[in-house]
Amino acid sequence: MSEIKRNLRFIGTLISLRARRLMAFRLSFFAGSIVDSSLFITWLLMFSAIYGRVDGIGGWSRGEMTIFIGTYSLLNALNMTLYFFGVIGLPGKIKSGDLDHYLTKPVSPLLRLTFEKVDLGSAPLILVSVLIILAGVAEANVAVTLCTALGYIALVLCMCVLYYDLELILRTIPFFVISASSIERLEGAAFEVCMRVPGTLFTRGFKILFYYIAPYGVMATVPAQVLTGMATPGGVAQALGILIVFTAFSQWFFRFGLKHYKSASS
Amino acid sequence: MRKYWEIAKLSFKVQIAYRFDVCMSMVATAASITFAVVLWGAIFGESETVGGFTLDQMLTYYVLSAFLAMLDMSGGVSSEIGDRVRNGTFSKYMVVPVNTQGYFIAQSAGVTGFYLTFDLAAAVLWTFLFGIRPTLTGDVALIFAALTIIALGLLFMVQFNYALGLLAFRFLDIGPVLIIKGNLIAFLTGALVPLSLLPDWLTAGIRLFPFYHVTYLPAMLLIGKNAGEAALGIVTLSVWLLFITALNTRAYGRAQLRYDGVGI
């Protein structure tokens, strides 16, 4: 309990330091929010054009698809705000040897790496995402109960952890190879596909790839299904199972990677 | 003219060092086509035609638009200008005896020339791997018109990205602008969804802008659609090209006076 308190106080200090630093670049403060909002707005326009011609896509109505896009936007917003800018710095620190500074401090290196670059400028994107989701709920005419709302929030938080796991796994690979930029670019390509279409549309090889190998297809789909009443207990259990496996693996993989850290720049 | 030819040749050769980027370019094309196959496969499971497209025409459209989008390598022009202005090394382009616009056009032409073969190979490879039955036109006039529009479109995009790069002389950090530009261009060029699926009034408005003609129109011409718009496309792009070239010349003249060559 005291360790949790200590870690929370440490995270608070990191956020405070980061906020002060970001304030020095006021013009770029909200850049992340504006940039990502433009991305999700173009996708909404894209689906609006498609739904102008069809009634449904694989069983997803316009409102349900809006909820899906809003959910992905929300996951992306939480990712950008909380840990994205911290985790993406890991390969550079491994390569330059700067990870030494993290290992010698009396706090978990992963905790510091994860939360040292909290980006408050991305937080408005959370609000934009919530507005998209609310618009989708209104359009889909979904009756949201307290139970489904809480279930949705809990699953979004769980999928946020899954998102973190996937980012961490890919950025742990540089412990073993010189550069993992190729893997990061593949991640971008997979992410691009899965952010645009609900995972239920994938079949055969794509289903295996985006559900079990790189489960980007699960992340927004299952919470959106819960909110729209399309989820099955089996589907939710499967998503949670994937989360547990990937979380356990990412933590083990990071520790395993640390053992192979050469502490030498290249 | 010879020096620009040399710049293009050099840019072509430099790409050989970045073989990995070529592979990633091919993977990016696959992402776009995978998205189309999954999404439109689900949609056409419920309908025979959508917006006048059959499934084969729609997938062919996406293969072509992905190919054309990857062929446009001019995005690096604006980021290079932005980076160099910010760190004070843009002086390199001021001291060499070439026209800066011409330099970047030649550089992009060299890079595009290198990628042309690989992007074409990727398009053919994905077409077969995804089992797409291509529905290309056999009309030579349409193919010629499409190729002309593609060339004009690529030239316009270099000039457009050059114009965005010049903003760095005033604002220094143009990174966010470039990312937003990328998102909007993907939509406006029809790389995300065929523009004919948009409401008619919106398509009519977008048609006045050059982006409609950069990817969407040539892709449609190559699948045998929108034949009546070929001449309009050539005229529209030519007018926009003249406009943006004049604008860039004027803007660069002013930017040179503003530039301190120090960087931050």
Backbone angles phi, psi at A57, to 5 degrees: -120, 105
Confidence at residue A149, expressed as pLDDT on a 0 to 100 scale = 92
CA separation for the pair A72, A75 (Å, rounded): 5
Inform me whether the C-beta atom of residue B172 falls under 8 Å from chain A C-beta atoms.
no
What is the SS3 assignment for B129-143?
Answer: HCCCCCCCCCCHHHH
- How would residue A159 be classed by pLDDT, with cut points 50, 70 and 90? very high
Confidence at residue B263, expressed as pLDDT on a 0 to 100 scale = 66
- Of A126, A118, A120, A141, nearest to A40 (Cα)? A126
Token readout for A228 is 């729209």
Identify all chain A residues contacting B45, using CB atoms and an 8 Å cutoff. 58
The shortest CB-CB distance from A54 to any of B20, B30, B50 is to B50
CA distance B177 to chain A (A): 8
Confidence at residue B197, expressed as pLDDT on a 0 to 100 scale = 86
Q: How many CA atoms lie within 13 A of A40 on its CB side?
A: 28
C-beta atoms of B183 and A38 within 8 A: yes
Average the pLDDT over B167-172 and give the result. 83
- How would residue B250 be classed by pLDDT, with cut points 50, 70 and 90? very high
- Within chain A, how many helices (H) and strands (E) appear? 14, 0
If you compute the radius of gyration of chain A from its CA atoms, what whole number of angstroms results? 19
User: Residue B14: in which H helix or E strand, if any?
Assistant: helix B2-14
- ipTM metric: 0.77
SS3 at position A52: coil
Q: To probe the interface with A, which of B32, B187, B189, B198 has the most A CB atoms within 10 Å?
A: B187
C-beta atoms of B38 and A197 within 8 A: yes
The shortest CB-CB distance from B187 to any of A45, A190, A192 is to A45
**Percentage, residues of chain B above pLDDT 90:** 26
- Give the mean pLDDT of chain A: 86
Residue B50, pLDDT above cutoff 80: yes
Average the pLDDT over B65-78 and give the result. 86
Average the pLDDT over A183-198 and give the result. 79
Average the pLDDT over B104-122 and give the result. 87
Token readout for B155 is 């030239």
Confidence at residue B66, expressed as pLDDT on a 0 to 100 scale = 86
Residue A266, pLDDT above cutoff 60: no
Inform me whether the C-beta atom of residue A52 falls under 8 Å from chain B C-beta atoms.
yes
**DSSP code at position A57:** B
pLDDT in tens, A58-114: 888 889 999 999 999 999 999 989 999 889 888 888 888 888 888 888 888 888 888
Inform me whether the C-beta atom of residue A196 falls under 8 Å from chain B C-beta atoms.
yes
Of the listed ranges A42-51, B100-109, B216-225, the least confidently predicted one is A42-51
CB-count exposure of residue A48 (10 Å: 0-12, 13-18, 19+): middle
CA separation for the pair B30, B113 (Å, rounded): 20
- How would residue A256 be classed by pLDDT, with cut points 50, 70 and 90? very high
The answer to whether A258 touches A89, Cβ cutoff 8 Å, is no
CA separation for the pair A72, A200 (Å, rounded): 15
CA distance B240 to chain A (A): 24
- How would residue B212 be classed by pLDDT, with cut points 50, 70 and 90? very high
- How would residue A34 be classed by pLDDT, with cut points 50, 70 and 90? confident
C-beta atoms of A49 and B46 within 8 A: no
Average the pLDDT over B97-115 and give the result. 88
pLDDT in tens, A214-255: 899 999 999 999 999 888 999 999 999 999 999 999 999 999
